């Protein structure tokens, strides 16, 4: 990043990292559009987006897309010959479909995946270049990139409990750790914890069996309901509005607005570039954490930055 950008004030949080529901819908739309089709060429419009060295990028030319899948918060294109193209959107990375011969948008375009009748453009808004592409060969190389988080929608309550209690963390940290749980980030963890009526600061070790079961149910319900909702909104199109804070979220992005359950104003904790929201009445027994206690907690077990979150 160039020096002159560093003095700029921090921009208000406008977009967020796509998480399991968003990435799932992307993957479904991509699979529909691209499975069985040949990727004619992958053109880098910003060389820094490619983070792997072998195999060379021109190895993809002419190979058919066998399928598209999600790995954590990443999107994986499986190409013929066991080549895998792994895209991480990070915060501001997005995909859009351009009809044949349309020019990709200037500065923000990172890469163009060219198909016979159109081009998939990988863009990243803002000045930070975090979004990435890796090209790897073979399932083993792909698996090595997987942070290994549990797929909660496919897991039973015992597996969930074991992961959660494996280490002592705050709930916020545990839910958003990609090595523990797959595809959950800042936004949906806020929604999950509100639904489960649990404090983001609670320690995993202090949870009763009943709390853990409620958290398991809330996690599954939140992820499944949002996936369904985004799927309906996207229809047959690309999910263009994936970035926005969404109407219909209970607490995330709703600082000072009334909690939909009890009407109390939603609280916030600002850290690094993130903001966590919770309802004190529903989740922390009315307690708003004081600064000193908070900073202790933030040091001990809190996702320090977005980069740490996969
Ligand atoms: Zn409330």
- CATH code of the domain covering residue 70: 3.20.190.10
In a domain, 2, yes or no: no
Q: What SS3 state is found at 308?
A: helix
Q: Are 62 and 38 in contact (CB under 8 A)?
A: yes
Å from CA of 263 to ligand 1 middle:
6
pLDDT at 4: 41
Q: Is residue 76 domain-shared with residue 157, that is, in the same domain?
A: no
In a domain, 58, yes or no: yes
Domain tally, the chain: 2
Dihedral of the CA atoms 40, 43, 49, 50 (nearest 10)? Answer: 60
Å from CA of 258 to ligand 1 middle:
8
Å from CA of 193 to ligand 1 middle:
11
Nearest one of 97, 37, 31 to 70, comparing CA atoms: 31
Å from CA of 307 to ligand 1 middle:
30
Å from CA of 56 to ligand 1 middle:
53
DSSP summary character for residue 23: H
* Cα atoms in the 13 Å half-sphere on the side-chain side of 97: 16
Q: Is residue 89 domain-shared with residue 231, that is, in the same domain?
A: no
Give the residue from 144, 174, 208 where a domain finishes.
144
The alpha carbon of residue 142 and the mean position of all alpha carbons in its chain are separated, in whole angstroms, by 18
Q: Is residue 212 domain-shared with residue 245, that is, in the same domain?
A: yes
Q: What residue has token string 């992307």?
A: 26
Cα dihedral across residues 281, 291, 176, 49: positive or negative: positive
Å from CA of 249 to ligand 1 middle:
13
pLDDT at 237: 77
| DSSP sequence for 154-205 | GS-HHHHHHHHHSS--BHHHHHH-TTTBSS--HHHHHHHHHHHT--TT-BGG
Å from CA of 262 to ligand 1 middle:
4
Q: Is residue 28 domain-shared with residue 46, that is, in the same domain?
A: yes
Q: What SS3 state is found at 307?
A: helix
- Angle subtended at Cα 303 by Cα 180 and Cα 247, rounded to the nearest 5 degrees: 90
pLDDT at 234: 85
Predicted TM-score (pTM) of the model is 0.90
Full pLDDT tens readout for the chain, 310 residues: 344 443 334 444 456 789 999 999 999 999 999 999 999 999 999 999 999 999 999 999 999 999 999 999 999 999 999 999 999 998 889 999 998 888 888 889 999 999 999 999 999 988 888 999 999 999 999 999 999 999 999 999 999 999 999 989 999 999 999 999 999 999 999 999 999 999 998 999 999 999 999 999 999 999 999 999 999 988 877 776 665 556 789 999 999 999 999 999 999 888 766 788 999 999 999 888 766 666 676 666 667 555 455 5
pLDDT at 170: 92
**Both tokens assigned to 13:** 């949080």
Dihedral of the CA atoms 20, 22, 25, 27 (nearest 10)? Answer: -70
C-alpha 57/C-alpha 60 separation (Å) is: 6
Å from CA of 276 to ligand 1 middle:
15
Å from CA of 285 to ligand 1 middle:
10
pLDDT per position as a tens digit, 253-299: 999 999 999 999 999 888 766 788 999 999 999 888 766 666 676 66
- CATH at 221: 1.10.8.50
pLDDT at 105: 85
Å from CA of 260 to ligand 1 middle:
7
Range of the domain at 272: 152-308
pLDDT at 241: 66
Q: Is residue 88 domain-shared with residue 163, that is, in the same domain?
A: no
pLDDT at 274: 74
């Amino acid at each position: 990043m160039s020096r002159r950008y560093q003095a700029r004030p921090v921009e208000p949080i406008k977009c967020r990292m796509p998480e399991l529901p968003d990435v799932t819908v992307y993957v479904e739309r991509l699979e529909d559009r691209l499975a069985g089709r040949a990727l004619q060429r992958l053109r880098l419009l910003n060389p820094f987006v490619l983070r792997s060295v072998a195999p060379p990028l021109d190895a993809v030319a002419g190979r058919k897309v066998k399928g598209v899948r999600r790995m954590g918060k990443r999107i994986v294109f499986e190409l013929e010959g066991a080549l895998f193209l792994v895209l991480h959107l990070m915060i501001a990375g997005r995909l859009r479909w351009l009809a044949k011969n349309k020019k990709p948008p200037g500065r923000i375009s990172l890469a163009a995946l060219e198909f016979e009748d159109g081009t998939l453009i990988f863009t990243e808004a803002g000045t930070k270049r975090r979004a990435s592409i890796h090209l790897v060969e073979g399932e083993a190389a792909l698996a090595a990139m997987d942070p290994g988080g549990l797929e909660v929608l496919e897991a039973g309550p015992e597996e969930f409990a074991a992961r959660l209690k494996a280490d002592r963390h705050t709930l916020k940290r545990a839910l958003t750790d990609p090595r523990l749980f797959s595809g959950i980030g800042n936004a949906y963890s806020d929604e999950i914890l509100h639904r489960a009526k649990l404090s983001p600061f609670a320690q995993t070790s202090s949870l009763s069996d009943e709390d853990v079961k409620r958290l398991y149910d809330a996690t599954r319900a939140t992820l499944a309901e949002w996936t369904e909702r985004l799927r309906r909104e996207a229809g047959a199109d690309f999910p263009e509005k994936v970035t926005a804070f969404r109407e219909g979220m209970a607490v995330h992005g709703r600082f000072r607005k009334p909690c939909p359950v009890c009407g109390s104003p939603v609280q916030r904790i600002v850290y690094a570039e993130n903001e966590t929201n919770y309802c004190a009445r529903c989740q922390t027994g009315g307690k708003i954490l004081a600064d000193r206690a908070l900073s202790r907690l933030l040091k001990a077990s809190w996702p320090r930055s977005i980069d740490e979150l996969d």
